[in-house]
């Protein structure tokens, strides 16, 4: 997949529509990034693996907003496919 900025949850779902895991990055200060592997599950929830600390969670959109920085990163234009 070509690198692309993800602007909205609709963009994220479109990038994940094939049901396969895809890698994303949250751009941080200093040119570094936080890598996430995300899969859209058949029930509409997201399975998220954070590479920085080897943690995994399965969340719906509301929990993604409260338990991750992904939605905030989209709003700040700092969320990308990699």
- For residues 18 and 28, give the distance between their C-alpha atoms in angstroms, rounded to a whole number: 28
User: Quick one: tokens of 28?
Assistant: 């941080």
pLDDT tens figures, 21-55: 999 999 998 888 999 999 999 999 999 999 999 99
User: Mean pLDDT of all residues in the chain?
Assistant: 94
Residue 78 confidence (pLDDT) above 90: yes
Break the chain into its structural domains and give their ranges: 9-81
Radius of gyration of the chain (CA): 12
Residues 55-81 have a mean pLDDT of: 95
Residue 1 pLDDT class (50, 70, 90 cuts) = low
CA distance 14 to 2: 14
Q: How much is the pTM?
A: 0.90
Residue 58's pLDDT is what? 98
Residue 38's CB: how many other CB atoms inside 10 A?
Answer: 21
| Alpha-helix residue ranges (DSSP H) falling in 1-82 | 9-15, 61-67, 70-75
Structure tokens given for 13: 């779902």
């Amino acid at each position: 997949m070509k690198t692309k900025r993800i602007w909205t949850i609709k963009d994220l779902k479109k990038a994940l529509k094939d049901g396969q895991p895809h890698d994303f990055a949250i751009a941080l200060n200093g040119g570094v990034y936080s890598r996430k592997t995300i899969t859209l599950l058949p029930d509409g929830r997201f399975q998220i693996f954070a590479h920085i600390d080897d943690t995994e969670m399965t969340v719906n959109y509301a929990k993604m907003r409260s338990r991750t920085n992904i939605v905030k990163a989209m709003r700040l234009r700092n969320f990308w496919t990699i």
